[in-house]
Amino acid sequence: MTEINPLLQKFDHPPFKKIKNEHFKPAFEKSLKEARAEIDSIVQNKEEPTFSNTIEALEFSGNQLGRVASIFFNLNSAETNKEIQKIAQEISPLLSEFNNDLLLNKGLFEKIKTIYDNRSQFEYSEEQLMLLEKVYKNFTRNGANLSEEKQERLREIDKLLSITSLKFGENVLAETNNFELHIEDEQKLEGIPDAVKEAANELAKEKGKKGFVLTLDFPTYIPVMKFAENRELRKQMLLGFGSKAFKDNEFNNEDNVLTIAKLRLERAQLLSYQSHSEFVLQERMAKTTDNVNSFLKEILEKSLPAAKKEIEELKSFALKEDNIDDFQKWDKAYYTEKLKQKRFNLNEEVLKPYFELNNVINGMFQITRKLFNLNFEKTDGIEVYHKDVVTYRVYEDDKYIATLYADFHPRAGKRDGAWMTTYKDQFKHKGEEERPQVSIVCNFTKPTKNKPSLLTFNEVTTLFHEFGHALHAMNANTRYPSLSGASVYWDFVELPSQLMENWCYEKEALELFAKHFETNETLPIEYIEKIKESSNFMEGLQTTRQVSFGILDMAWHGLSNLADIDSVKAHEEQAFESTSLLPKIEESCMSTAFGHIFQGGYSSGYYSYKWAEVLDADAFELFKEEGIFDKSTAKKYKENILQKGGTIEPTKLYKMFRGKEPDPKALLVRAGLIPG
């Protein structure tokens, strides 16, 4: 008897317990076949093309394929293995081919074009017009008007890009997993927090080794760089982190970086755009490469003088404290933390006991309840892909609105960083409403035998950031899945996430969750004041760093000619020239592990973090004016930003919420870079 494939059965929540790796490829093959049949039925329909029988039919086609793909690729990020990676390499070209077959389908495009050209003759809703515009542009921006010869080359490029981007990510993960620093002498770990040492000791025991094993996982790497008194240890860790996929081994990403950048440029130019950035930015709030470069330049002009002053301050401090006269990159985090402690008498390790993970989660839920009337009920009744994953049913008052998956701790099968994703988007179809299934994935400090998971303040803000994205997806109230939740312009998508971080600095909010995990004592008021006071500490350096990443992104994607670029390192150094404040490290290269732009969706979009900071600083001004838990402001924000998704152009949405366009000065004032 043939085994039933759970991915091909009707399901609501993903049936993780039943899914085996061998189910994926047959599920993809059958779902692709069904999706192609659905497209064929739209094309072969003899009736006059209408919005309903073409645009909506296309929007709701391939549902099974979408569900299978969301499960598979989310697992490939959060719980991967060699087998899943192998399947990804086999499946990605098939998906790329399907996507090209769809977007280069002449019969389908003719119908879409007819509807688009005659749109003024019908009374469409704003959301319908947005979908029509999006579908039409999707086809024209992906080769529908190209000659057959150029379309064929486009197919080849997309297939190569899908494979190369996957390989890029696999190499970074492999390099992260392969690095370990085995330390037997505990004295070398002087200054490192006990919880980090305890976790490193437990890992060493798991590996059958004495002493401690340090890894590049953020909960280990960042505390080592901030607190390790042993300068050589900091250097070894930084070199390990900075040389990921830049070593002379099978995981080197230099060729992959060049291949991806040059293929993207060729693709854009096939479509008559000068650069990949020009292609991407047409569908962003920023609109043009010049606008992005001007924006980054404007921020840099304000941050760089402050950054130069701050780096000199750190050098003087290191010289005075420890006679360091050759200040290096592996010294920056350590002396920043040391100076911060001295200036504000604020030790990150003193704060951590007040940020126990479960307390922070519960406080975050309370804040959300106060703002949006949302309630989160923990449940064991939803299948998960790993024992660490926690699930919640989310209710608005008493009405179910979403499922939330939360996956908080690092492991070998999970990539670095933090992100929000969905297993199902919200939409309305045939009189039924589908509610979203949302996941936040992080890499926070793991609990040990002696202590629960205690977060750094930076981890607290990261959690609130990803939860802000989740709120965007969970509150969605649109008709079409491709316009739902976080399906918005890329430089608008960070507004909900970055806005949410603001509550981490407010006394009224902190008092809800910042409680000592042993005594239940609320975080003392002097610490709250110090958190607020120190929030702009070294802001010039922090802003310059973020801007430099945006500049590097544009250096890879904003040029109209990459033919002469054959050295990833040299090109990167040229991009960083205006922002580089410390000696270069030959063994280090950022581009080879810059997953945001070479594997994620941030190519020509890294600037959007700062762009959205302008929006969130301006938006939070309103909450501060009206009260951080003001219901009417929260309602206005929910109805105009969170619920609307991509149904309305974002500048218009923002003005509907705020009553005016965003003021860039709000960001610079908040950052302390210009006077208020």
Q: Answer whether 553's CB lies under 8 Å from 580's CB.
A: no
The total number of residues written for the chain in this structure: 676
Cα(67)–Cα(6) distance, rounded to whole angstroms?
12
- Judged by phi (left if over 0) then psi (alpha if -120 to 50, else beta), residue 480 lies in beta
| Catalytic residue annotation | 466
Q: How far apart are CA 491 and CA 545, in angstroms?
A: 18
For the chain, the farthest-separated pair of C-alpha atoms sits apart, in whole angstroms, at: 82
Distance CA 474, CA 485 (A): 7
Report whether 425 contacts 476 (CB < 8 A): yes
Q: How far, in Å, are 306, 458, 502, 507, 671 from residue 532 at the CA level?
A: 19, 13, 10, 9, 12
- Tokens representing 541 are 């350096």
- Tell me the β-bridge partners of 428: 433
Closest CA to 267 of 592, 617, 588, 557: 557
If phi > 0 it is left, if psi is from -120 to 50 it is alpha, else beta; for residue 208 that is: left
605: three-class secondary structure by DSSP: coil
DSSP-derived 3-state class of residue 403: strand
**CA gap 39, 101 in Å, rounded:** 10
Element counts in the chain: helices (H) and strands (E): 27, 9
- Is the CB of residue 223 less than 8 Å from the CB of residue 193? yes
Asked if 650 contacts 489 with a C-beta cutoff of 8 angstroms, the reply is: yes
Say if CB 557 and CB 276 are below 8 A apart: yes
Look-up: residue for tokens 């670029």? 565
